[in-house]
Structure 1
Amino acid sequence: MKKPLLILLTMTAMGAQAQVKQNLTPETLWKLGRLGSENITPDGKQVLFSVSHPNMEQNKSDVHFYTVPITGGPMKQITKEPGGKQILDVAVGGKVTYFADGIIWQMNIDGSNVAKITTNALEDIDNVRLSPDGKKVIFSREVDMEKIQGKDKYADLPKSNAYVFTDLNFRHWDTWNSGKVSHVFVADIADGKITNEKDILAGEPYDVPQKPSGGVEDMIFSHDGKSIVYVCKKKVGKEYAQSTNTNLYIYDIESGKTANLTEGMNGYDTAPLFSPDGTKLAWLSMKEDGFEADKNDIILKDKKTGKQVNLTEKWDESISAFRFSNDQKKIFFLAVHNGTEQLFEIDLSKTLGSVDAIKQITKGQWDVNGIVAQAANTLIVNRVDMNHAAEMYAVDLSNGAMHKITTINDKAYDALNLSDVKERHIKTTDGKDMLAWVIYPPNFDPAKKYPTLLYCQGGPQSALSQFYSFRWNFQLMAAQGYIVIAPNRRGMPGHGVEWNKQISGDWGGQPIRDYLSAIDDIAKESYVDKARLGCVGASYGGYSVFMLAGVHKGRFKSFIAHDGLFDLKSWYGTTEELWFANKDLGGNYWDHGNKVAANTYENFNPSNMVNKWNTPIMIIQGGKDFRVPIEQGLQAFQAAQLKGIKSKLLYLPEENHWVIKPQNSIVWQREFYNWLKETL
């Protein structure tokens, strides 16, 4: 009788052991699938979407297509070939058109009957889009515009790698200007080939899509396929470097004529989208030239009458994305509000431009960060939170209820301990209420004491909502045993336009005091080890780390700064998007009559605080980061070394302002947490 009982107890123990969950590691994080492009089938029953998985051995990612019912259910993988792919269209009857290896392909929705639509592979093209009737295609390609490289200027010197510049905008983000620009081409699809290519910006020295972040959304066909609307900043040199004024242009395919649709609108105009019947055009627009983080509004224009209206001008937040409802009676949009990104709607039957026409649809501790498509009274969206990468959800438009329809990473998360993420409200030094997110280690025990990290967000005007990052991952930080406090300091969207604007010209002022208020507030808790406080951040967050290293008065035991601004004078002299520096720093450093700029360069310059540095610091720098160039990280590391401060430099020669390559990302994570183990 004892033997069966012993077997049962052994099996029970083995089962319990099998169910033991693990904490997140960098290696597990980099095995997660990443949701990509999505399309709904015309019958409204399925979603076709892409998922990329990092291939650590190949040091790149592979993309595969999947389908899932919009009601949820098993996901079906329909492609097997490695490499990149772009979904172009899902037609009535389920035919899927996609682009891979320079060729347009077609297959059934179940992945069968794969066939080439075009046989002539087009090299070096990107951002492919089909016309509504499938007979034309637009795409982007680099074209030679100016002889800048030595080998191009002098035919007898083909091995020269010299560059010769006579104007600004000589490099941008991570690329030197080689004399090439990106142009939009339109072509016919006939007899299995792409023919009759035409450069619609022929001879113009401008980029479409906009570099570095513009993509296929910068160029669209009109509803009837007879025109192309594209986003472009038609400026060069010093003008380009100091302006954010992009416009929408419409190109008539038959006549070849181009017209400016947003003449007189001076800020960013982006994301053009036609209504389903093609009678209206909507887009996102900022008012102020040179202010890249200005309030983003939705503009709606009637094609027939030419009348246009700002639908969100009186609403005190900034829009991140939108789309028309199928019946064209509403516009759905996304915006950050009170620390999360949510889904809203505009009722176009009400007074256009009134706040009363706007209604919030979803509420919860998550970010809705993508709108896919509508099927009847259901809207398919993407959703993330600080514990979960993006999955697709179906939203009931009548009540905002959501249910998950994809399970890309469920198996991985089922095996992980997750973190508690809690909202915390903090009084700032000027008496304002500031939201902060606090992320607790898995299996948090308030009776214990934990090392705690202050996270400093970049931007500086980027949202600190419920985002999920594959580098600055709060779940991963907490899984290593750290409490993380992430405050929505001055300058972040989601708390009204004025709160967002207050950081410009005040980088080292109230925002830095907000950070100190946050760490001081959480340090009051009995479970925070006040002797083990760290501070980490990138970009403006890296700048914040450098500033705090000089003013923290012994609060912190360790710092990590990634691509941070260390010396504002040398930064102004080497960065490229000068509109940003002019707006946020107040201007250049040689105009001594400019009081805002003079105060910034004197009192908000981290290099002026180095005499007060006395705390271990790790500095991370990308070699191809032209936004925050290499001298910033090198100067900071050299200063720390010469002062005898324990310090480490992680240099990533082939990375830009981000870390893109999978193996470099793992190195980043390992060095990051090794440093914290050493110093906290």
Structure 2
Amino acid sequence: MTLTANKFTPEVMLSAPRRSAGVPNPSGKLVLYTVSTYCFKEHKNTSQIKVLEIDSGNSTTVFEGPGASEPVWLGDNDVLYLKSGDNGSTVLIAWADGIEPYEVGSVKGPISNVKVKRLLDGTVAFACSAVTTPHGKLCNPETEKKPQSSAKVYTSLFVRHWDAWNTNNASSIFYGVIDKKDDKYSLRDNTLHNALAGTKLSSPVPPFGGTSDFDIGPSGLVFVAKDPELNAAIYTKTDLYFIPLKTFTESSPPSPQIVKTPGLEGYSNSPVFSHCGHKVAFTRMRSNQYESDKPRLLLVPDIAHPDKTEEFYATQDGNGGWDTRPESILWSHDDAKLYVTAEDRGRTLIVELPSSPSKTGTALPTAIKIPNGSVRAFYLLADPTNDEEKTQTPKGHQLFITTTSLIDNACYSITNPTTSTSTTIFSASKHGKAFNLSPHSISTITFPGAGGAYDIDALVVRPSSYSPSDPPHKYPLCMLIHGGPQGAWQDSWSTRWNPAVFAEQGYVVVCPNPTGSTGYGMALQDGIKGEWGGRPYNDLVRCFEWVVENLAEVDGARAVALGASYGGYMINWIQGHPLGRKFKALVCHDGVFSTLNQWCTEELFFPIHDFEGTLYDNRASYEKWDPARFVADWATPQLTIHSELDYRLPITEGLAAFNVLQAKKVPSKLLMFPDENHWVLKHENSLVWHREVIGWINKYSGIDEEQSLAEETERLKV
């Protein structure tokens, strides 16, 4: 195997510092963030909590070492964070400017997803999540009594999820109060209370729920949770609840009150209190069996009356007049406006709109101009109407934004929504120039989709060695097919599928967003329903043809294609169809071998929606798009990758594909990870993944041969 890149290699990418989103302090002068860096020589990861001065750009380290996480601001110079202790316990530690860390309180079990809110009486409401036993008690895996048998018995659906077998334990939200006395903070009575004890509710929602699943307001907590009366394997429904709290010290909190949204029964997400504490904005989907349905932006005008909600851009037909997918929500300082993130043609942007549906009118919101890339997180800077801020440079109507792009894994900037001006505070791409990462390598192409009835976009990443010439130098095509299928390639950073890593091997990388992709309107996204191997496949055929015909620097005779999840399904589908013969090699990561096996997955609402029914009610749809129907035509060399902890697509899908290829004597290889899930996350495993994948495509695209010839030529010169 040969890795031809000599600068931006997989090892360079994987060992580069990974920065969290930046969070400004109350005065807007400092930014809190974390950095994680892996060293392949020492096979060790280091973690730091850091503070950045906005004006000078200088950073200082708050804490360095293992076990520290979840830093949040308690004041202008006070940082609260968690540190794992002995026997799995978690300790709350605060750091003040120039003062050594000290203990605020301790909890006898792991906690995470920390949120704080300063209350009117000067105390700080503290909330977090933790796993609890069926009796609502904090669960500590280190001290739990170990069973004598490993047997698991189930009598209902949803026996496992993502990468773990389900148990009777559940996630819950805990709350308490942090006091400050003599310039030191302490957790009152060293006690946290379970907000959901005895309710049958669980929040944050697994497996990926976090701080965006709940919020703290001066009058209590809001949170989202699955409907306990519906089976989570079949239905996506999550409701929004409100728990009124007067002091955040109540040992027996009131029962949660459900927020009613007539006509909308799908996922609820991103609840956020207004600054006044009376209103809550959140999103909710309509369908209770479609995980990628369009979220609607909603408002609770008065959380004391959770039975009354209003929808932004509502229409009489119930479809909604805003054809986009709102995600994160932020209130302006005066609560008059909302700032909302949403996907838009390969980017995640921020839009501004009035905070009341009655004031939006018919004009749809437009995006705020931000630096290149996609928004990862955003916050308002200090409110200049505060007395202490009036004499300072106004920043209150400015946003502190963390973005990423295809060439930048972290960029911190300040944007003024009114003037559409931005100032970059920190950009990792400045350091990345040494690795030949440049915006000049990135472009977007648009071509007619299947039947010419709609257009399709694709991101294009060229190698840093590329320059226009006549005749052009030819680079083999590398087509990357995204998963989901309701997903999209974005101008954003990734350490799992980074197009620049492939481009630097000597490919022109094309990342199409075909039918099923998000960010291009619901018609394109929903067009994949009942069409898994239809419209998306034909879009990819058109993409291949357009690229070969219109990009003179692309050598279509040496093309390769790679995909994961749904992209892996498409690789197996391509294998049995004419497009498969256009590629010299294929890579299938955690793909679908047979759609008839889709009921081996955990979230059954997914195949029920996409295949328009159950396996027993609409078997014909599953059979129609089954890659296994066409294995007689499989002929292209293929690397198949699968992991044993992938419960979304069990490893037998990968084994079946590999066995067919081997039995047919098609050049093939199997890469298996026993300790990874649907993604390959561990640094050492990821490095092996990259070496195997790049080695496979380089062998069949001819890049290996080119490199060997170049090395031999250089040797002869010497």
Shift of 1:604: 0.9
Q: 1:114 to 1:415 in 2, by over 3 A?
A: same
Distance in 2, Cα, partners of 1:473 & 1:28:
12
* Aligned counterpart, 2:565: 539
* Aligned counterpart, 1:261: 259
Shift of 1:244: 0.8
* Aligned counterpart, 2:289: 290
1:70, 1:394 within 8 Å by CA — same for their partners in 2? no
Residues 1:338 and 2:338 are matched in the alignment: no
Shift of 1:338: 2.4
Distance in 1, Cα, partners of 2:411 & 2:80:
23
Distance in 2, Cα, partners of 1:69 & 1:380:
13
2:429, 2:437 within 8 Å by CA — same for their partners in 1? no
Query: Which amino acid is 1:444 matched to?
Result: Y
Q: Which moved more, 1:51-60 or 1:464-473?
A: 51-60
* Aligned counterpart, 1:112: 99
In the TM superposition, 1:82-121 aligns within 5 A as: 82-91=66-75, 93-101=76-84, 102-109=90-97, 112-118=99-105, 120-121=106-107
Residues 1:281 and 2:280 are matched in the alignment: yes
Gaps of 5+ in 1: 1-20, 147-151
1:127, 1:139 within 8 Å by CA — same for their partners in 2? yes
1:342, 1:367 within 8 Å by CA — same for their partners in 2? yes
Distance in 1, Cα, partners of 2:491 & 2:338:
24
Q: Match for 2:243 among 236, 247, 251?
A: 251
Q: Match for 1:322 among 325, 329, 332?
A: 329
Q: What secondary structure, in the 3-state scheme, does the structure 2 residue paired with 1:278 have?
A: coil
* Aligned counterpart, 1:13: none
Q: 1:330 to 1:605 in 2, by over 3 A?
A: same
Residues 1:228 and 2:221 are matched in the alignment: yes
Residues 1:372 and 2:379 are matched in the alignment: yes
* Aligned counterpart, 2:48: 64
Residues 1:658 and 2:679 are matched in the alignment: yes
In the TM superposition, 1:436-447 aligns within 5 A as: 436-446=458-468, 447=472
Shift of 1:57: 6.5
Q: Which moved more, 1:405-414 or 1:170-179?
A: 405-414
* Aligned counterpart, 2:316: none
* Aligned counterpart, 2:65: 81
2:22, 2:412 within 8 Å by CA — same for their partners in 1? no
Q: Write out per-residue CA displacement over residues 509-528 of structure 1, whole angstroms, 9 at most, x where no aligned residue.
A: 10110011111111123322
Shift of 1:561: 0.8
Q: What secondary structure, in the 3-state scheme, does the structure 2 residue paired with 1:517 have?
A: helix
2:342, 2:348 within 8 Å by CA — same for their partners in 1? yes
Residues 1:145 and 2:127 are matched in the alignment: no
Shift of 1:609: 1.2
Distance in 2, Cα, partners of 1:452 & 1:400:
37
Q: 1:531 to 1:346 in 2, by over 3 A?
A: same
* Aligned counterpart, 2:418: 398
Q: TM-score, normalised by structure 1?
A: 0.89
Residues 1:514 and 2:519 are matched in the alignment: no
Q: What secondary structure, in the 3-state scheme, does the structure 2 residue paired with 1:241 have?
A: coil
Q: Write out per-residue CA displacement over residues 602-627 of structure 1, whole angstroms, 9 at most, x where no aligned residue.
A: 22111111111000001110110111
1:458, 1:541 within 8 Å by CA — same for their partners in 2? yes
Count of aligned residue pairs for this structure pair: 641
Q: What secondary structure, in the 3-state scheme, does the structure 2 residue paired with 1:523 have?
A: helix
Q: What secondary structure, in the 3-state scheme, does the structure 2 residue paired with 1:472 have?
A: coil
Shift of 1:435: 1.1
Distance in 2, Cα, partners of 1:413 & 1:159:
56
Residues 1:184 and 2:147 are matched in the alignment: no
* Aligned counterpart, 1:576: 602
Identity of aligned residues (%): 28
Q: Which moved more, 1:604-613 or 1:402-411?
A: 402-411
Distance in 2, Cα, partners of 1:157 & 1:197:
26
Q: Write out per-residue CA displacement over residues 213-233 of structure 1, whole angstroms, 9 at most, x where no aligned residue.
A: 1012222222x1x42211100
1:550, 1:609 within 8 Å by CA — same for their partners in 2? yes
Q: TM-score, normalised by structure 2?
A: 0.84
Shift of 1:352: 3.5
Shift of 1:345: 0.5
Q: 1:233 to 1:349 in 2, by over 3 A?
A: closer
* Aligned counterpart, 2:408: 388
Distance in 2, Cα, partners of 1:164 & 1:384:
44
Q: What secondary structure, in the 3-state scheme, does the structure 1 residue paired with 2:433 have?
A: helix
Shift of 1:61: 4.3
Q: 1:192 to 1:172 in 2, by over 3 A?
A: closer
Q: Write out per-residue CA displacement over residues 299-348 of structure 1, whole angstroms, 9 at most, x where no aligned residue.
A: 11111676532225422111121211122221111111122222210034
Q: Which moved more, 1:406-415 or 1:166-175?
A: 406-415
Shift of 1:409: 5.9
Query: Which amino acid is 2:483 matched to?
Result: G
Q: Which moved more, 1:165-174 or 1:130-139?
A: 130-139
2:177, 2:187 within 8 Å by CA — same for their partners in 1? no
* Aligned counterpart, 1:40: 24
2:408, 2:432 within 8 Å by CA — same for their partners in 1? no
1:348, 1:357 within 8 Å by CA — same for their partners in 2? no
Query: Which amino acid is 1:70 matched to?
Result: I
* Aligned counterpart, 2:391: none
